[in-house]
Amino acid sequence: MQLTHLDEKNHPTMVDVSQKEQTTREAVASGVIRVSSEAYKAVKENSAKKGPVLQTAVIASIMGAKETSRLIPMCHPLLLSSIKTDIEELEESCAFKLWVKVKLNGQTGVEMEAMMGVSVGLLTIYDMLKAIDKGMVIENIQLESKMGGKNGDFRR
C-alpha cells in the first residue's frame, strides 16, 4: 500500500496529476450539527423572518470551499465551476444537515472542496449560535458521492 501523497523519502508531496484526464468531476459531501432546542428555535424563529444564520452559513460554506487548496497542504488549486448547498432542518433531533455539491472540469477530484465547504458551513452555524449553546456537536462529515475520474464513482 503506497500513500499517494508521500514520496520515496517519506516527505509529503503534491502528487502529479498532469497525466490525468481532464473530465467533469462532481462531489457531494454532507455533515450535521446537533444543537440545543433553544438554539434550534432561535434559528427557526429568525429564519421565519430573514434567516441570516443559515444564509451566513451557506455563504461561508461556498467561500470556504474555494479556500481548500490553501488550507489542505497537499490539495491542488482548482477552477471550481459550481458550488451548491442545501440545508435540511432535522426538527426532531434539533439538528441541521448541510449538503455541499462541487463541480469541476479538471484533472483531479473535488471531494476535499465539498468536505471543506461542509465543515466551514457547520462551524459558522456553531459560531453564530455559541452564545446560546456551547455544547453543540458537529457530526458525520462525510463524502456522499463522487463522479468522474478514472477510479470510478463512489456512492455511500
Footprint (CB under 8 A) of a second copy, residues 29-68: 31, 38, 41-42, 46, 49-56, 58-60, 62-64, 66-67
User: Grid coordinates in use for 99?
Assistant: 449538503
Decide if 99 contacts 30 (C-beta within 8 A).
yes
* Interface positions, 95-124, toward a second copy (CB under 8 A): 103-107, 111-112, 115-116, 119-120, 122-124
* Residue of the chain from 96, 127, 147, 149 that contacts a second copy (CB under 8 A): 127
Q: Per-residue contact track with a second copy, 72 to 91, x per CB under 8 A?
A: xxxxxxxxxxxxxxxx----
d(CA 14, CA 52): 38
Per the rule left: phi > 0, alpha: psi between -120 and 50, beta: everything else, 66 is alpha
Q: Answer for the pair 68, 108: CB distance below 8 angstroms, yes or no.
A: no
Closest CA to 93 of 142, 136, 30: 136
Least Å from the CB of residue 127 to a second copy? 5
Least distance from C-beta 133 to a second copy, angstroms? Answer: 10
Least Å from the CB of residue 67 to a second copy: 7
21 counts as binding a second copy under rule CB under 8 A: no
With CB under 8 A as the contact rule, the residue among 14, 37, 91, 93 that binds a second copy is 14
State the Cα–Cα distance between residues 156 and 139, nearest whole angstrom.
16
